Amino acid sequence: MAKAAAVEADTGKELCCTSVIEAPLSQAEAAKLAGVLSALADPVRLRLLSLVAARTEVCSCDLEAPLAKSQPTVSHHTTVLAEAGLIVGEKRGRWMWWRVEPDRLAAIRAALGG
């Protein structure tokens, strides 16, 4: 868990100074944005995210069935989304509870010209 908790999202708030359509991105900005978008660019993770958002807080064990994926696979995807800062997890007892980080999604939209 120490490792999982050490999952810091590098929450530098905004993902790039300006939006993609306003000015050419630097390599560093492009790499950072691409990293977060890669976390979103997977159908399983998109559905996982929408499942968590639908109920404000979801236990890992309640994700295996709707996603039709094994427990290690679900754990992998939650880790990826958490590293991207899109969800945050809290361990209560034996269960891991996840909730979305709306600010992060908003930052992505802003980077995309929102």
- Residue ranges binding DNA (CB under 7 A): 1, 3-4, 38, 42, 44-45, 59-61, 69-73, 75-80, 89, 91, 93-96
Q: Within 10 A of 65 (CB to CB), how many other CB atoms are there?
A: 9
Looking at 7, 9, 51, 88, which residue binds a copy of itself (CB under 8 A)? 51
Distances (CA, A) of 9 to 14, 61, 65, 67, 94: 12, 23, 27, 24, 24
- Which CB atom, from 42 or from 79, has the smaller least distance to a copy of itself? 42
* Chosen from DNA, a copy of itself, none, partner binding at 73 (C-beta under 5 to 8 Å by type): DNA
User: If binding is defined by CB under 8 A, does position 100 make contact with a copy of itself?
Assistant: yes
Strands 95-100 and 58-59: antiparallel
